[in-house]
Amino acid sequence: MRTLTTDVLVIGGGATGAGALRDLSLRGIRSALVEKGDLTHGTTGRYHGLLHSGGRYVVKDPQSAEECARENEILRKIMPHCIEETGGLFVVTPADDESYAERFIAACRRTGVWVEEIPVREALRREPLLNPRIQRAFAVRDGAADSFLATHANADDARRHGAQVMTYHRVTRLERVGDRIVGALCEDLRSGETVRIHAGFIINATGAWAGKIAAMAGLRINVVPGKGTMIAMNHRIVNTVVNRCKMPSDGDIIVPIHTVAVLGTTDIPVPDPDVYDITPEEVRLILEEGECLIPGVSRMRALRAWAGVRPLYKDQDAGNDRDIPRTYKLLDHETRDGVSGMVSIVGGKWTTYRLMAEHTVNLVAQRLGVTTPCRTADLTIEPSHDGAAAAPRAPARSQFAILASPFYMLGHRLAEVEADDSYGDLICECELVTRAHLEAAIRSDGTANLDDLRRDTRLGMGPCQGGFCTYRAAAIWHELRDGATHTVGAPPATALLRHFLQERWKGVTPTLWGDQLRQERLDELNYLETLAVDRLPEATLDAIEQPRDVVIEEVV
């Protein structure tokens, strides 16, 4: 058994965990992070990608609105390469209560959420597909965030400051001595090895899974995982975030993110964050609601559907689960439960992840006697250059005006491909993933399967959903990785190929009709008729460099 000693152990590799890790490391606190899957494998990698202006919560949840408005400006400043400046609109459709608009404006003023009413004509000029019968339109500072890139950027910055990141490590036990938690036992899911981590303090940043972790120490946290289902349309039907101007409910927002637009979302309580599925009724509801914003959207091509689980914290008798505040809650188990050595951070939004981390680390630093203040709101996170992330590379930046923008732009990858004349090297044509991107991602530490490559590069996330690139990526994986680990028997890459096809299948089945069904049949022709991957021999299980016990549910 390996052992490791650290000042602070962060459990959870989503936005909040990675944000806390960066905060700790910037304050000079020795720290490590464990995550049972890949970074962003949980809720962070399954959300719609909205950088909240706060507008969505001004009426119902003003505290959350204020937090979002402040953090929105901070994130634009510290991680511009992860955020696209799309702007947002709140529109009153014929189906909406007109009186809400006045309450909305007043609440924006009260909470400090920037808002400006624009003429309907102007809104329709910006977004030509918008319902021409909208009655009013309000511009806000919504944006689109790349949550994969942002989480990696935080983790990489933390590593540069000495922190450790351990993916595919699952906590199996919290070690408790009397009323103090002193560490954790983890299983390395790739080697099967047990790792004992002695920690001065533990931050439970596992979101919807926080109750499961707390229970290992005999503590009770009432997390209500709220499932949100989203549908990605195959192109950017809007370039602005578009919201219905009404109380938040199902299917009332469209977020343009990279090459697609995401329709969202539902909010359905689920008993277990690891077990849920997407029903045809949910998909139909989201499309039908989407018709109010974009007439005809239900006849456009949907790419896939997925669901994430919100880490909603219920500490009193909230009625409807949508009434649970969207703000976050820091649980100090010492004052709350009389057990020291661990805090849990639950609730919140992606947009407030940095604030949640700051608040959490303030308490931890105080307990550890560290007085260095938080600097995460002021220090810019430099784009990672080691991973295969979408950040533009420095030399190309000077050559193209578009790249001089501090914000992430859709055209960055295209500009890069044009600059290098590397069309011939595109492995995933839909998402413009080149061989160089892919090889860097395969070689990077912690990458265990093709789904990890997808989160790193967007491989397989475009219209063809892996129809061509799955084969190419598996074969390149074989050339770079299997040579070292594989001597005899079927290549592990074969198992990864089949695993990835199955993961894509789960994501697309809820939206398979029309052109997307046609595409899927072509993928079948490729993989069954031409390649016959169903007839390939299975790799033996212990040869597969893949987590054995992680069941990956829905995928983005």
Partner 1 sequence: MRTTIVIGAGLSGLMGALALAEAGLRPLVLAKGQGATHWTAGTVDIWGGDERSPREALQEIGALHPHHPYALIGAHAVEEAIVRFRALTEAARYPYVGGLDRNILLPTSAGALRPAALLPVTMAAGDVRLGGTMLIAGFRELRDFYPPFIAANLAAQGMAARGVYLTIPPAFRRREYNPVTFARLFDNPAFCSDIGRQLRAQRGDATRIGLPAVLGLRDPTGVVAHLQDESGAQIFEIPTLPPSVPGMRLFALFQNAIEQAGGRVQIGSEVICGDGRDRLLTTVWSEAAARRQEHRVERALLATGGVAGGGIRTDHMGMVRETALDLPVRAPANRAAWFAPRFLDPQGHAIYTAGVATDAHLRPIGTDGAVVYDNVTVAGALLAGTDTVRERSRSGVSLATGWAAGRILAEWMA
The reply on whether position 445 binds partner 1 by CB under 8 A is: no
Would you count residue 423 as binding partner 1 (CB under 8 A)? yes
541 scored as a contact of partner 1 (CB under 8 A): no
Considering the complex, state which of residue 74 and residue 536 has its C-beta at the smaller distance from partner 1: 536
Rank residues 215 and 423 by Cβ distance to partner 1 and give the closer one. Answer: 423
Question: Which position has the token pair 């990458």?
Answer: 447
Report the candidate in 215, 137, 126 with the shortest Cα–Cα distance to residue 171: 215
Residue with Cβ nearer partner 1 (109 or 518):
518
Please work out the total of residues on this chain that contact partner 1, with binding judged by CB under 8 A. 60
| Distance of closest approach, residue 264 Cβ to partner 1, in angstroms | 17
Q: Which is nearer to partner 1, 173 or 486 (CB)?
A: 486
CB of 316 to partner 1, least distance (A): 39
Least Å distance, CB 460 to partner 1, is 13
Give dist(CA 254, CA 249) in Å, integer: 13
- Buried b / exposed e across 426-442, counting CB within 10 Å, b at 16+? bbbebbbbbeebbbbbb
**For residues 105 and 137, what is the distance between their CA atoms, to the nearest angstrom?**
11
- Contact residue for partner 1 among 215, 379, 394, 528 (CB under 8 A): 528
Residue (of 541, 455, 361) closest to 167 by Cα position: 455
| Element containing residue 306 per DSSP (H, E) | strand 302-313
Burial state string for 468-500 with b = 16 or more CB within 10 A and e = fewer than 16: bbbbbbbbbbbeebbeeebeeebbbbbbbbbbb
Give the residue, chosen from 489, 541, 548, 549, that forms a contact with partner 1 under the rule CB under 8 A.
489
Kindly state whether residue 536 participates in binding partner 1, applying the rule CB under 8 A. Answer: yes
- For residue 505, state whether it binds partner 1 (rule: CB under 8 A): yes
Q: Where are the beta strands (DSSP E) in 179-270?
A: 180-188, 194-204, 223-233, 241-244, 253-257, 260-264, 268-269
Cα(553)–Cα(306) distance, integer angstroms: 9
Return d(Cα 105, Cα 216) in angstroms, integer: 46
Comparing C-alpha atoms, which of 50, 52, 51, 55 is closest to residue 106?
Answer: 55
Nearer to partner 1, 95 or 525 (CB): 525
Q: Provide φ and ψ at 69, rounded to 5°.
A: -60, -45
Asked if 198 is part of the footprint of partner 1 (rule: CB under 8 A), the reply reads no
Closest C-alpha to 265, from 278, 257, 274: 278
H/E stretch holding 304 reads: strand 302-313
Adjacent-strand bridge partners of 188: 169
Residues 26-65 that bind partner 1 (CB under 8 A): none
Rounded-to-integer distance, Cα 90 and Cα 273, Å: 31
Residues of span 285-304 touching partner 1 by CB under 8 A: 287, 298-299, 302
For the segment 302-361, give every residue that binds partner 1 (CB under 8 A).
302
Residue 407 as a binder of partner 1 (CB under 8 A): the answer is no
Report whether 163 contacts 156 (CB < 8 A).
no
Least CB distance to partner 1 at residue 249 (A) = 21
- Give 404's DSSP letter: G
Nearer to partner 1, 513 or 548 (CB): 513
CB of 446 to partner 1, least distance (A): 23
Cβ nearer to partner 1, comparing 206 with 494: 494
From 41-49, 257-265, 326-334, 535-543, span contacting partner 1 (CB under 8 A) = 535-543
> Is 486 a binder of partner 1 (CB under 8 A)?
yes
Which CB atom, from 119 or from 489, has the smaller least distance to partner 1?
489
Who contacts 451 (Cβ-Cβ below 8 Å, separation ≥6)? Answer: 38, 499, 500, 503, 552, 555
When asked if residue 527 is in the footprint of partner 1 (CB under 8 A), the reply is yes
**131-160: contacts with partner 1 (CB under 8 A):** none
Which string of x and - marks every residue 165-194 that binds partner 1 (by CB under 8 A)? ------------------------------
Q: How far apart are CA 433 and CA 187, in angstroms?
A: 33
Query: Given the complex with partner 1, which of 74 and 285 has the nearer CB atom?
Result: 285
Residues between 70 and 109 with contacts to partner 1, criterion CB under 8 A: none
Q: Which residues bind partner 1 (CB under 8 A)?
A: 280, 283-284, 287, 298-299, 302, 421, 423-427, 435, 468, 471-472, 474-476, 478-479, 482-483, 486, 488-491, 493-494, 497-498, 501-502, 504-505, 509, 511-514, 517-518, 521-522, 524-537
